[in-house]
Each structure stands twice: as structure tokens, then as C-alpha cells.
Chains A and B, each alone.
Chain A
Amino acid sequence: MKQSQQSNDPLASPPGMISVTVDGRTVLVPRTMPDWQGRQVPTTMLQACELAGVTVPHYCYHPKLPVAGNCRMCLVEYGVPALGPDRKPVRQPDGSLVIKKSPRPAIACATPVSPGMEIYTSTPTVKLMRQSVLEFLLINHPLDCPICDQAGECKLQEYSVEYGRASSRFAETKVHKNKQIDLGPRIMLDQERCILCSRCIRFTRDVVGDDALGIINRGSYSAIAAYPGTTFDNNYTLNTADICPVGALTSKDFRFQMRVWFLKETMSLCASCGTGCNIVIGSRENCIYRFTPRQNDAVNSCWMCDYGRLNYRWIERTDRLTRPGGSKLTSPDWEDAINGIAAALKKAVPGHIAIVASARLTNEELYLVRRLAQFLGAPTDCVPRSGPADNLLLCADRNPNTKGAQLLGIAASPPGVNLPVFARLIRNGTIRSLLVFGEDVTRHGITADDLARLDFLAASDIHTNGTTAVSHYFLPGCAHVEKRGSFTNVHGRIQRFEKAVDPPGLARPELHWLRELVCRVTGQSMGGTVESVFEAMRAEVPAFRNIAWADLGDHGVATHG
């Protein structure tokens, strides 16, 4: 280390900062950094190394879990400034510090840094320690990668490439454990693959608050287990399969379905409640295989609930609407459908038309609905959905974009309060035309008999439903995984998502045909991309002012709502 300038003295850092040297590179790191709960605690070696651009391999450490320090993969060597008899740092003639190397290594995940500390992550000793830990982890490991779902995203595999031996020195009989433990309704456990990092235990106990998992037996015979007589069943169990660094915990939903390296990864959001957990959609050849959480500390940390994660199979249902239709449409032709609806709307009289739009539609789509409603002088509302909330992520509002619908003036206050009004106005003949986007109003207080009274009814949805069945025109919409757009979550955070798979048949994203409808009905022109609709929206709606599409990035931003 070269620190000849006193001004660069590692012991004279700016307030709140500490100077440490990682593999010869001196960096200033904050004195404290957030721990797994976000509390400021002394910065660890591992965090300092990250800031210095050096990744320290690890298994048990997870930034969102309490530190366990059990895998020993992150052992590093280090030194601290030597102190003289006067308890003051000893300096070289050039003023640089004399570093006293510790005779014992330290786990980077749990050891705080101190001023002037030097961390060595790539010495022969450190490399040997990593090789040894890896060898120890593998001696009783079944090495069944060819049939293991974790293959391709397995830390054992990854570190084996870097630190593994080509052949095993282990000539004894391996410890055999249970390879197929039905831990709970959604999780399978292979005890032989487990490296006992305890991430699953810590997550379940400390994040979920369910003391369901533990370790039984001891030494090399140790194994993860659910508490005797219980099953591992809370709404967050599948996160343990995500954080399991090996293939010990697997999702019953995903196991044996697809090799992970074949999966296309799409940045998206969970649409099952108003929280808006950030996710990655794993798909291949237009088929969705899994949702996994994507870290966003402002929303869902690294987690998502099982309910939201598994709520995707309906997308492949066979009763999807795949083409435009309705009693007044003679052929399944988009042009005819839009023209027919536009013609009817041009004749609609303000005060005699209403719109119900789903709070599952995107901000951009709801903005187009707003344009339409404003032009037509139509009152609007959404269909509220609710269910029990829990104390972690699942929120009572089961629509992904209620907040967006509120900010855009689509949702009544409270949402849904207009629906019985609409029903009454249909029955007394005031409302003569109704547009329903993405909902089945026959399940929400407006009966099929009510709908039969209307002069004009156009509806859209993803599946056939009671409303589309009696519509003059119906249009096939898209699941959110089949389109791009943004949702505003219950806390007012606007986040974008990308398209993972194509919609079935002739179905098109709502944004596309809503824009055509708006242009046709109002005579205004407007760009056809999500970005251009977003631009128009933010110019008009105060809650989105000063937010550019590009600002949304991967993690979204707070609206002004």
C-alpha cells in the first residue's frame, strides 16, 4: 500500500467514512451501512469489498437476512494498523501505516471494518480456504446436477468452476439423507443437496415470522426439517426456493418443468395485489414457467408471496378471448369492430353513457379511457377487489392499479361506489350506452337483464364472461404478461413492466385498440407506443407530472398522488 501523503492518511477520513484497502485498492466506505432490516450498523468487510468492486463468494450471507456466518466461504485475510507502545499507529518513514496482518482469517459477512484496515481476498491462503470449504460442501453432496432443478443457477456449481477440484479426494461412503421430503404444499426438500446455510430457516423465522423450519440431528447428519407434525405452509414458502443457494428446496410448481438456462427473463410486476412486487418472468417459447421476485427495496425487498407467484396458470386457460366478436360484428375483424364501436360512440349522448374500466389495466390504458370518457362526458368507475392482507407483502387491494385508476380519475371514491348507481340509471333508462373494459359487470351488480336494456354495449376482457357474452361488440384483451405498461401501486409508486409472451390468437394489448378508438372517436391524433401515451398522460395528469418513462427505470418512482 502506498500512502505517502498525509492528506491521504487512511486514519484521517472524512466524517462518517472509513478508509480501507481491498486487495491493494484504497476505498472510502461509510462507517455504517444498512443491515438486513435497514438499520445502520458498522460496515462489514463484505460490504466494503462490494464497494471496492470485489465480490467475496458466500453461501449463507444474504443482504436481507440476519447474518449466520456458518458457510465460511467468505473467509478473508486482513490486517489492521499496528499500534506502538504508546497505542498510536506505527508509521513507515514515508508516513504510511505499518499494517499488522491478523494471524486468523475473518468472515467478511460479519466482521466490521476499521480505519486503515487492509482486506486480502485473493491470497493463496484465502483461495485455499475457499477450495476447502467447497470441497467440504461437496464430499457428501449427491452431485446429481443432471436431474437437479437448481443446475444453471447453483452457487455450488458456480463456485466449483472457480474453486473446485477436477476430481474428488473423498473415498468414503457418503452420508445419505432423505431426497424427497414433502415439506409443505409448495416446497420439496432434498436433504442431500442441502449445504445447511440456514437461509430458509432465517427467512421463515425472521422475515415471515413463522418459526416453521429448523435443523434436526447434528454434525454431518444435520438436516433441515419442518417442526414435527407440521407442514411448511405460509404465504411465503416459495421464497425459500429462491434463496436456497443449491437445489435443496425446490418449488413443486416449477420442479422438473424447464431448465433454467432456457428461460427468457422478463422484467415485470406481480399483478395479484396492489403492492406491485417486482418480478422476473421466466418464459420459453411463449409459455410462462415461473415468476420469481426481483429486488426492489422500496417495494418488496427480495420477496413475493406464494399467492402472487403462482397466479399465472390462468393465462393459458382455453377459454381466452382470441378474436373480436359480438352480436353486431359479422366477422372477427379488428377494423370492423373498432369502426362499429366508434360509430356507435359518436352517436352517444353525454349523460347517457357510462364506462367501467378495470383497475387491472395499465396507467396508459386507463389514461386512454379517461380521454374517451372526457370526450363522451361519461362517468366512470372500477370494480374493487379485496381479500385478506398479511403483515408482509400481500395487500387487501387485489387490483394492481387501483391507485393509478384513482389518480387518473377513473375510479370513483371509494372505488366501485358508482356501480350500483350505473345499475339504477340503466334500469331507469338514463344510461343507454355502456363500455366495459376488462371486467364482467354481471358479477358486480349490473345484471344481464340490465345489460339487455342498453342500446349499446361494448366490452373487452381476457376471458369470455357474462358481459362479453351479451355485448354488441367484444374485444380480446391481454394479460399483463402479454404487454408493456405501468401500474401505480397502493403506495403511489409507478413502476413499469415488459412483455414476456405473445397474446393468443388475434388478441391485442388494450393500449393499441383503445388508442385507435380514442383517435377515431375524438378525431385527435396520438402516438401508438406506450411511451407516447405515457408522454401525453404526464403532460395532462398532475400526479405524473415531471415523470418521464425513462425515469421509471427498473424500480419505479413515487408519483405525486
Chain B
Amino acid sequence: MPSERHLILKNIRKPGYSTDIECYLRHGGYQALRKALALQPVAQPDGTAIGPKEQIRREVEISGLRGRGGAGFSCGMKWSLVDRKSGKPIYLVCNADESEPGTFKDRQIIHRDPHQLIEGMIIACYANDVHLAFIYIRGEFIEGARILERALEEARAAGFLGRNILGTGYDLDIYIHRGAGAYICGEETGLIESLEGKRPYPRIKPPYFPAVLGLYQCPTIVNNVETLCAVKHIVDMGGAEYARLGTPDNTGTRLVCISGHVKRPGCYEIEVGKVTFRDLIFDEAFGGGLHDARQLKAIIPGGVSAKVFRAGEKVRVTKRAADGKMFETEMDVLDLPYDFTSVSAAGSMSGSGAIIVLDDSADMVEVLANISEFFAHESCGQCTPCREGSLWMAKILRRLAKGNGQPADLALLLSVADQIPGGRTICAFGEACSWPVQSLLVKFGDEFRAKVQATADKRPDRAFAEVQ
């Protein structure tokens, strides 16, 4: 029986659990921090010693934790890339700019268990010699910012933040920075620019890799809210133990946001790769199935920028057999395990963990027009293909949705979408705005063709013009 596996949501789901620090402490809060700060250097056979900070970083590396923000990049690897010899301060920024449509997991943590995030952050900061950290929270999370402010004050008063934390000599402060309502601030270099008080224009890489030239041109770590919470649990249970959760390469637990046409939309915590789309959509422990008399039509597996799956679609994935050998197999998309590797092998991504379920009541032209309008509205406008292409696609799609499309529009749309992603833009927004167009047009092409054909039938003059 598929079921949730609560690590991050463990306390949140308990009745009467509140955001107060007393409540958090009653539930074992800040024990992981105490454990981290109490670590002693471990002597090595060669006479050297591994310091406590490096021990934590190793545990995170051993845990196999992959970033929960969207890209699924190894957290241990990200930390290992930090330039620790520059002589400049190292900053850590918690990315709480949760904006990917369909994603509402970080908000759960912030609203219901802010101290879990703060504890994870303090540990991550300690492990990386950070003395100043920021929580960049999206502008719309007004209540979330208020809750975090209060939690930070509580943590300061309790000696978990500020000077000489718990008498160890370690200093750290955390500040909250509220965004002004732009999706692009979730892109880490755009976030850094915004934090510096500028327009959130993502930076070009090279040379501005945050690990070397981040906030104020200093080495900077940007981690997602959920990732930082996971760090707390890794210290708590040990990296190896954490890695036993989930599947190899996709370790630990993960929050999944299920929305759309299911009976029980919500935020669920799963062992990564241990449940399938079928479980997540149909099982009573998760989505609980579609509404009565509805058929599954599409799954957007990782926020709206992820490429769509069509119901009944067969996907080819490479799997590891019991003997360790890799083999390729074909399966129904519903049988695909929900993890970074499988979804990506199937041609999409698990992104921010947002699964949007669409049943047969959805008009896919309308769906894509809606998604494209979002991206046209959120394109920062810095680089040409995304700035102009995102709005162009949105305008074509709005015209199609209104019934003013022509058959040639579909090829045009696809050719526009093809010229935005793949390194043509500064940041991954180029991919984000074009992948939905590319995938919906291909996988639901019949629906788009029917729509423009209906238009042509209604307006023979235009159809005639098209033939000409």
C-alpha cells in the first residue's frame, strides 16, 4: 500500500502543533542544531582531522540530497563548489520565492513549522562558515513573512541566532527579504540581484556562478526551503540513514503538491521514487482519484514549466535491475515512479514537485493559453528570445483559444517555441516558457488542430485565404 512518509511534515500534521518555539522545542526542536554544534573533530588514520563543519557537509553529500527547488541538483555538490578560499564572506540564501504554478509546499513549512526551516538554515550556515543569511520570501507571502519574522525573533531570544550561538562562539544572523511579486526571483541569480536591491535580472554564467560570485560578488549558497529542512533531518538521522529513504540517486522524502482535477488536492510527503503517478493521482492516501465520470487527460508532473504527459502515454525509461545492470523498459506513464531521474528519463521533470492533474473537461488550448500568459507576464524581459517569444506565443494562443486560429499558426507556434530554449536565453525561463508549448502542441496536437479547423470551417473566407 502506497503511503506518505513523514519527515518534514511529521510535526505539522500533529493536532495542536503551532508555530511557537515552545511547541517546536517540545517536539524535539533544535536538537539537531545542538548535535551539529557539539560535533568534535574526528581524527583520521593519516593524522589529519575532519572538522565538525566538514563532517556535516560530508553527511549531506552522503545523504544524496537533491535540491527541492526544481532542478534537483545535488545539495552536497552545490556546497562543495563554494569558493572557501576567496577571503570574502560566504552567504547563504534560503529561496522561499515559491512561485511555480501548482507548487505550495514551502508555504506549508513556512506557515506551520517555521522553526524547522530556521534550524535547517542555521545548521547549513554553520556547516558552510556563513555568518549572515537571508530568507528571500515571495512578496505575496505576507503572512509567511510575518510568521518567519516572529520565529526568528524567538530563535534569537532563545540563543539559537545572533552572537555566540549556544555558547559555541558561532555567530549568525538571518534576515528576511520580501520580494515584490516576480516569478523570476525564484531563479537564484535573479534572486541575488533582487536581494541586492536591483531588478531581478538573472546573471550570465559564466562568470557569475553564485558559488564564486554571488551576493555582493561573494560566494553564495542558494537553497530551497524544503532542502534546508532536509538538512536538519540529515544531521538528525545521519546521511547514510537518510539515503536509505527513497531510492538510489533519489534519496529521502519529498513534498509533492497535487492539484487539479483530483478529489484530494494537497501537499503530501513521499519517499522519493517509492510511489508512482498512479498512486499519487488515484490512491486514497494521495489524490484520491478523479471526480466522478471523468477521465484522466493529462499530467503536468513538475510545475507548469514541465513538459506534459498525456494519459495513456507510454514512456521509455532506463531502470536498474536487481543485479545492478541498467535496462530500458517501456511503461504507462501512470506507472512511472515519482522521482527526479525517472520523470526526467521520461522526457519531462519533477521540478518543484507540483503535479497538476487534468481530466477530460480541460480544453488543452485554453490550458496552454493560460500557461503561456503566465510566462509572458513573468518574463523579466532581459534577454531577447524569452522577452519577445513568450508574449508572441501567448498572443497566438489567446487568439487560438478565442477561435481565431489558422492551421498555419500551429507550425508557427512550434517554431517560435523551438527558438527560445536550449541555452539561447540567460536563464532557464526560456525552457520554462517553451516546454509547455512544445509538449502540449505535440501531445495534444489533435485538439489544437480541431480547434483551428473549427475556426476555418466557420470562416470559409479565412480558410480560403489560407489555401491561397
Contacts and interface: CB of A to CB of B under 8 A. Distances in A.
Interface of A: 67-73, 75, 103-107, 110-112, 128-129, 132-133, 135-137, 139-140, 169-173, 175, 195-196, 214-215, 217-222
B397 to A, nearest CB: 10
Contacts of B387: 136, 196, 219-220, 222
Given A70-B384, A219-B390, A222-B381, 9 more contacts: A71-B384, A103-B423, A105-B424, A107-B204, A110-B204, A137-B384, A196-B384, A218-B378, A220-B376
A139 B390 CA distance: 12
A72 B383 contact: yes
A487 B402 CA distance: 69
17 contacts: A71-B384, A72-B384, A72-B385, A104-B423, A107-B204, A112-B206, A132-B385, A136-B387, A140-B391, A169-B412, A172-B392, A196-B384, A215-B199, A218-B182, A219-B378, A219-B380, A221-B381
Contacts of B207: 110
B392 A129 contact: no
Nearest to A102: B423
Given A72-B424, A104-B423, A219-B377, A136 B388 contact: yes
A112 B380 CA distance: 26
Interface string B6-18: 0000000000000
Given A104-B423, A219-B390, A220-B391, A67 B204 contact: yes
Contacts of A139: 388, 392
Contacts of A170: 392
A215 B383 contact: no
B391 A218 contact: no
B316 interface: no
A171 to B, nearest CB: 8
Contact of A72 (B206, B377, B425): B425
B395 interface: yes
Nearest to B376: A219
Main secondary structure of the interface of A (DSSP, over half): loop
Give the size range of B's interface with the partner. Answer: 20 to 34
Interface string B377-412: 111111111011111100110010000000000001
Interface in B181-224: 182, 199, 201, 204, 206-207
Given A129-B419, A172-B399, A220-B391, A69 B426 contact: yes
A142 to B, nearest CB: 14
Contact of B381 (A107, A128, A220): A220
Contacts of B385: 72, 132-133, 136
A452 to B, nearest CB: 67
B51 interface: no
Contacts of A132: 385, 419, 424
A221 to B, nearest CB: 7
A219 B391 contact: yes
A136 B412 contact: no
A29 B319 CA distance: 46
B426 A129 contact: no
Nearest to A59: B384
B422 interface: yes
B200 to A, nearest CB: 9
Nearest to A172: B395
B424 A220 contact: no
Contacts of B392: 136, 139, 170, 172
Which of B207, B382, B390 has the most chain A CB atoms inside 10 A of its CB? B382
Contacts of B378: 218-219
A132 B412 CA distance: 12
A136 B419 CA distance: 10
A171 B412 CA distance: 11
Contacts of B419: 128-129, 132, 135-136
A415 B140 CA distance: 67
B411 to A, nearest CB: 10
A46 to B, nearest CB: 13
Contacts of A171: 396
Nearest to A169: B412
Contact of A110 (B206, B377, B399): B206
A169 B103 CA distance: 35
A72 B383 CA distance: 7
Nearest to A131: B419
A303 B206 CA distance: 28
A103 B422 CA distance: 8
Nearest to B390: A219
Contacts of B201: 70
Contact of A196 (B182, B381, B390, B424): B381
Contact of B391 (A73, A106, A135, A175): A175
Contacts of A173: 395
A220 B380 CA distance: 8
Contacts of A137: 384, 388
B379 A218 contact: yes
B384 A75 contact: no
Given A219-B376, A219-B377, A70 B424 contact: no
Nearest to A132: B419
B422 A70 contact: no
A105 B425 CA distance: 10
A111 B395 contact: no
Name the residue in A136, A169, A171 with the highest tally of chain B Cβ atoms < 10 Å from its Cβ.
Answer: A136
Contacts of A73: 384
B222 to A, nearest CB: 20
A449 to B, nearest CB: 64
Contacts of B424: 72, 75, 105, 129, 132
Contacts of A68: 204
B376 A195 contact: no
A133 B426 CA distance: 13
Contacts of B399: 172
A195 B391 contact: no
Contacts of B396: 171-172
A133 B383 CA distance: 10
Interface in B364-386: 376-385
A131 B424 CA distance: 12
Given A112-B206, A169-B412, A133 B384 contact: yes
A206 to B, nearest CB: 13
A171 B466 CA distance: 13
B388 A140 contact: yes
Interface string B70-114: 000000000000000000000000000000000000000000000
B383 A70 contact: yes
Interface-central residue, A107, A170, A218, by most chain B CB under 10 Å:
A218
Contacts of A71: 383-384
B213 to A, nearest CB: 13
A222 B378 CA distance: 11
Task: Determine which residue in A70, A129, A215, A219 has the highest number of CB atoms from chain B within 10 A of its CB, and name it.
Answer: A219
B413 to A, nearest CB: 10
Contacts of B426: 69-70
Nearest to B386: A219
Contacts of B391: 140, 175, 219-220
A103 B377 CA distance: 29
A105 B378 CA distance: 24
Contact of A106 (B376, B379, B383, B423): B423
A69 B381 contact: no
B381 A215 contact: yes
